[in-house]
Amino acid sequence: MTAEIVLARVSLTKPWLGAEETEALAEVVASGLIGQGPKVKEFEAGFSARQEVRHAIATSSCTAALHLALVAAGIGPGDDVVVPSLSHIATANSVTYVGARPVFCDVDPATGDITAETIRAALTLDTRAVIVVDHCGMPVDLDPIRELCDRHEITVIEDAGSAVGSLYKGRPVGTDADMTVWSFHSDKVVTTGEGGMLTIHRADWAARARTLREHSRGPSPTDGQGSVQPRQDVSLEIGFNYCMTDLQAAVGTVQLGRLAQVVARRREIAGMYVAGLAGLKGLRLVVDPPYGTTNFQSFWVEVQPCFATSREGLLSRLADAGISATCGTMATHRQPAYRWRETGHARLQHTDRLTDSSLILPLFHELDTVSIHRIINTIQTAGGGSAP
């Protein structure tokens, strides 16, 4: 047997957690108040301040926040909601949950984001809302979308599930949508294991979403646990159980405090990829648009037909080298769950192409320089370029 250097496997993503999270969790456990309580309130307050929005409602997931947003906006059967097909399937599912019809629209070929033009092509007489998505963290160009939607009295919901820490014209994404949803899933830039947030401008929608979160129990269900007030168990309408726990929120507050540092490191790693891969024929890299900066939730590349190998070929070369990579976001209209549904959409040219040609490379806070160079060298070799 020949001696071989076994290189550690490079994972695709890994949450950055440390002693501070452990301490915060221990404190909550010791307090005995592990449900939705003071830590959730603290996390909501910290999040709304940081994201420059009035109301923040913590939820069990981003999917739950999407569902609450649509219910709060009064979207239901007979309504059409424009959504990009190139997104997490939760975006379209939330529309289906409320009995409305998701109408898929295409995306910009460079950013992978929905635009005013692609939305316009998907409008119907029944369009009541649009869910815009910051694809893989890339800020959506919201101003022209707002203008279009305001003209037609269409509610704008932003699915910033991947975009905490991304900026649009210097401000956090989501500040100008009617409602914005966020994800703290374990793969996201800020994580609570599972978890989400709904941020809202309108006070009446926020109040309704807050009660809907916990079985529509009014009037102040949030301080049930630690409060001496008897709980009022009156449900005003059919609600949900979409609560976050104090265990999660305590971790979330620690994570939020590190957001700037995490985004800076992600952008630094992305910069190393760009420096190492730019100029490789047939590999298109994603860069910041002129109107904003991405958090690089995912570093995706487009493998064009003129690249030396196919997307699948490159994926297996990376796998052979012990590097985890994956296909890019899959178009929702091509998922078995949606393929036979009537979703009234036109041709989704760029969505189809990006589904077939994009690939996501490892990117996480603790990804080390040696691994980054190993990934770059593997791609260089597969692409027929010389390793630097």
Site for ligand PLP in 193-232 (CB under 6 A): 196
Structure tokens at 170: 């210097």
What's the rounded Cα separation, in Å, for the pair 105 and 256?
33
Verify whether residue 188 is a known catalytic residue. yes
Minimum distance of ligand PLP from residue 118's CB (angstroms): 16
**CB-closest chain residue to ligand PLP:** 161
Nearer Cβ to ligand PLP (184/307): 184
Nearer Cβ to ligand PLP (21/158): 158
Report angle CA 237, 239, 241 to the nearest 5 degrees.
155
Q: For tokens 């900066």, what's the residue?
A: 293
Minimum distance of ligand PLP from residue 174's CB (angstroms): 12
Closest CA to 121 of 377, 348, 367: 348
Long-range CB contacts for residues 116-119, cutoff 8 Å, separation at least 24: 116/141, 116/144, 116/145, 116/147, 116/148, 118/84, 119/82, 119/145, 119/148, 119/149
Site for ligand PLP in 71-90 (CB under 6 A): 87-88, 90
Structure tokens at 333: 């209209």
Site for ligand PLP in 339-368 (CB under 6 A): none
Q: Out of 14, 39, 169, 188, which one is annotated catalytic?
A: 188
Minimum distance of ligand PLP from residue 298's CB (angstroms): 9
Nearer Cβ to ligand PLP (61/358): 61
Nearer Cβ to ligand PLP (63/127): 63
Site for ligand PLP in 45-74 (CB under 6 A): 61-63
The site for ligand PLP, by CB under 6 A, has a size of: 14
- Indicate whether 372 belongs to the interface with ligand PLP (CB under 6 A): no
Bond into 38 cis (ω within 30): no
What is the rounded end-to-end Cα distance, in angstroms, of the chain? 31
- Indicate whether 133 belongs to the interface with ligand PLP (CB under 6 A): yes
- Indicate whether 158 belongs to the interface with ligand PLP (CB under 6 A): no
To which H or E segment does residue 81 belong?
strand 80-84
The phi, psi pair for 199, rounded to 5°, reads -110, 140
Structure tokens at 321: 């080298």
- Indicate whether 162 belongs to the interface with ligand PLP (CB under 6 A): yes
Active site residues: 188
**Binding site residues, ligand PLP, CB under 6 A:** 61-63, 87-88, 90-91, 133, 159, 161-162, 183, 185, 196
